[in-house]
A and B are shown apart, each in its own frame.
Chain A
Amino acid sequence: MTKIAGWSKELGNHERDMTATEQAEFDARQIEWNSDAEKLKRIKEIRLKKLKETDWWVYRGSMTAEQSSWRQSLRDIPTTFSASDYDALLEMGGEIPNRNLTHSVWSKP
């Protein structure tokens, strides 16, 4: 059972197991979270952030071929990669505060 934290007049701060109803809803949310559609959504959000971070390359007007190729590879993620690659694309490594995405597609040139 998953733990839930609470406060009540009788117990103050305490933790308890989720009820069967709470656990069922929690599990359903986990299933949705782990669905391919949700993973792809998160990948696209990260991609958008990476593209926004490097928009200034475009505005500057002197983007290198390597930089241009990398930005195109980000746009091609949905066609280049399949659902079986999503976990690898979202995988993170390193320790806080230097924890980051490990897949090479995210590495800026």
Chain B
Amino acid sequence: MSSEIKADKWSPASGTSATIGDSGDTYTVPTGANFTVTDELKTNKISPASGTAFTMGDSGDTFTVPSGVTFANSGTATGFGDTSYYVKIANNNGTNSVGGAFINDCFSTTYRTYLVTFQFENDRNGNQIWLRFLKDDDTELSGAYYRYATHQINNGGTESSITANDSSYWRMTGGTAGGNTALFGGCFGFMYVHNPYTIASGQAGAGNIYRTGWNAHYSEYDDSGNISNMTSTGMVEQNAVNVAGIQFMPSANYIAKRNITVWGLKEY
């Protein structure tokens, strides 16, 4: 049989299932023809018939993702939810001792504000955690640019400060936190990084003496359960180069464990 079949209904020759064609066959529903499935359609992939665009439904339609279904996105999803949200950019984590931990090219012109969350564990007593920003070429911004003020208060009520005007790094932690003697302490918390890249003239921060400022809130703890509340603010006192990355360093020895995540804040 060939050419055209005209019929109002197809049914299985026997039983309740029927098969159309064989592997490798192609069936085409031409332009202008509609193919309606009123119940469930099962397929492994949907692609555009031509070009690269594909449309689901029409204005007013509702598509429901039922409870328990995972909607996994590995590409770019736009137009979902609010217009302001955090976008995960990078993560550096590990449990082996290293002499430093960095993230390259996490800052750009895409966002003006970034959130950096971090957890560190020292590899011995007395270690401090330091921070330096990285330039576009991935080298350290190590001039005497770092101006900061950190306030520390421990669970015993003792207050102290760590400040600098022209340091080549930001010293984040005290490194002693009670003089720990068994396990080694660490720190965890978050910081907002502002204006790491050049920004448009007329906007807040443009043309000022700094490019990159931060506010941080974190905890430093020791093996004995002593904990300090740390708040810090600082800026990189220069406006010549963009800040593209971030690097954490131990004051000496190693960082034993680390988990650093950088998020961009999409504001509008």
Contacts and interface: CB of A to CB of B under 8 A. Distances in A.
Interface of A: 2-9, 13, 15, 18, 22, 26, 29-30, 32-33, 42, 45-50, 52, 92, 96-101, 106
B240 to A, nearest CB: 20
Given A33-B252, A48-B179, A42 B125 contact: yes
Given A13-B91, A33-B251, A49 B99 contact: no
- Interface size bucket, B side? 20 to 34
Contacts of A30: 252-253
Contacts, number: 87
B178 A7 contact: no
Contact of A4 (B99, B125, B156): B99
B211 interface: no
Contact of B179 (A8, A45, A97, A98): A45
Contacts of A42: 125-126, 176, 179
B98 A3 contact: yes
Q: Among the interface residues B90, B99, B104, B251, which one has the most CB atoms of the partner chain A within 10 A?
A: B99
B251 A5 contact: no
Contact of B102 (A4, A52, A99): A4
Contact of B251 (A3, A22, A29, A47): A29
B101 A4 contact: yes
Contact of B99 (A2, A7, A52, A98): A2
Contacts of A99: 182-183
Interface string B121-133: 0000110000000
